[in-house]
């Protein structure tokens, strides 16, 4: 049976690359995001790569939207999820003195509460898999702070703690949990973000996708996965 994969934030960037990496292995892949035209394009790419794709619109700040997206995914994947990738996220740089509470809450909602909601809704389908694996895409900002990153770092540190505790809660039912720590990766998240970003030195989304794929294949050492710097 082909792998059954659900990727949030799958319309572009890291999520798209992860979806296509599993598609190359013949997986059935559901990609979820807010933008329908991006999702439709990725579904076509999944099919062309050798997998079978499905799109599910998803707003990470809307519990009802999360429920509907997971329901669609589980139906397409015929009742079980082998790989859940919590990748959807927002990024930005705002000095703390300029940070508004609403922006801080938005980062927590999308980057931390959202993955929790998705995992809650997906848990019954994960339990139907013989080798289920949850991947939470954090960041090196989940290990150390940087100027202007109070909101983003708080959300990614939180995702790290969520993953560490979730691993303990789910190990007895055979569900593995990994946290991925990419460094700066050349995606549209950096478009319009103030700062002097040398995107030529960043990782590519495919670098992260390969780490996720190898993490799924690993029998041990899969818990915390760093993305090697570009060569």
24-51 pLDDT tens trace: 999 999 999 999 999 999 999 999 999 9
Give pLDDT tens digits for 84-132.
999 999 999 999 999 999 999 999 999 999 999 999 999 999 999 999 9
Assess whether pLDDT exceeds 80 at residue 166. Answer: yes
DSSP 3-state assignment of 197? Answer: coil
Q: How many helices (H) and strands (E) does the chain have?
A: 7, 7
- How far apart (Å, rounded) are the C-alpha atoms in residues 72 and 30? 9
Using 50, 70 and 90 to split pLDDT, how confident is the model at 203? confident
In the numeric block, which tokens belong to residue 15?
Answer: 């999520």
Which pLDDT does position 228 carry in this prediction? 85
Of 139-153, 170-184, 192-206, the poorest mean pLDDT is in 192-206
- How far apart (Å, rounded) are the C-alpha atoms in residues 166 and 171? 8
> Is the pTM for the entire model greater than 0.85?
yes
pLDDT: is 83 or 197 the higher one? 83
If one counts every other C-beta atom within 10 angstroms of the C-beta of residue 226, the result is: 13
- How far apart (Å, rounded) are the C-alpha atoms in residues 113 and 192? 25
Using 50, 70 and 90 to split pLDDT, how confident is the model at 1? confident
* 52-64 mean pLDDT: 97
Q: Count how many residues are written for the chain.
A: 231
Which pLDDT does position 196 carry in this prediction? 65
Assess whether pLDDT exceeds 90 at residue 134. Answer: yes
For the chain, which domains are there?
4-226 (3.40.50.720)
- Catalytic annotation on 152? yes
Assess whether pLDDT exceeds 70 at residue 9. Answer: yes
- How far apart (Å, rounded) are the C-alpha atoms in residues 73 and 51? 15
Which pLDDT does position 156 carry in this prediction? 97
If one counts every other C-beta atom within 10 angstroms of the C-beta of residue 53, the result is: 25
Which pLDDT does position 187 carry in this prediction? 63
* 191-202 mean pLDDT: 64
Mean pLDDT for the chain overall: 93
Half-sphere exposure of 172 (CA within 13 A, CB side): 3
Q: Are strands 133-137 and 176-181 parallel, antiparallel or unpaired?
A: parallel
Which pLDDT does position 229 carry in this prediction? 80
Is the sign of the CA dihedral 60, 44, 182, 196 positive or negative?
negative
Phi, psi (5° rounding) for residue 199?
A: -70, -15
Tokens 């990994």, residue located:
178
- How far apart (Å, rounded) are the C-alpha atoms in residues 73 and 79? 9
Selecting among 152, 157, 181, 222, the annotated active-site residue is 152
User: Over pLDDT 90: what percentage of the chain?
Assistant: 86
């Amino acid at each position: 049976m082909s792998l059954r994969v659900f990727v949030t934030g799958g319309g572009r960037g890291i999520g798209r690359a992860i979806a296509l990496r599993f598609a190359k292995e013949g997986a059935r892949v559901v990609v979820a995001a807010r933008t329908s035209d991006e999702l439709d394009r990725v579904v076509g790419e999944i099919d062309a790569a050798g997998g079978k794709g499905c799109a599910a619109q998803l707003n990470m700040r809307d519990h009802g939207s999360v429920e509907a997206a997971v329901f669609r995914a589980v139906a397409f994947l015929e009742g079980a999820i082998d790989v859940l990738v919590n990748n959807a996220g927002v990024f930005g740089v705002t000095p703390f003195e300029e940070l508004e509470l609403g922006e801080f809450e938005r980062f927590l909602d999308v980057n931390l509460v959202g993955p929790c909601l998705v995992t809650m809704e997906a848990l019954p389908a994960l339990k139907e898999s013989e080798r289920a694996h949850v991947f939470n895409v954090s960041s090196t900002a989940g290990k150390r702070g940087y100027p202007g990153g109070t909101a983003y770092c708080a959300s990614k540190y939180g995702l790290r703690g969520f993953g560490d505790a979730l691993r303990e809660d789910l190990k007895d039912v055979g569900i593995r949990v990994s946290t991925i720590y990419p460094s700066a990766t050349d995606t549209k998240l950096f478009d319009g973000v103030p700062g002097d970003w040398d995107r030529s030195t960043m990782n590519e989304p495919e670098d992260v996708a390969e780490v996720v794929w190898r993490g799924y294949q690993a029998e041990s050492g899969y818990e915390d996965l760093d993305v090697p710097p570009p060569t």
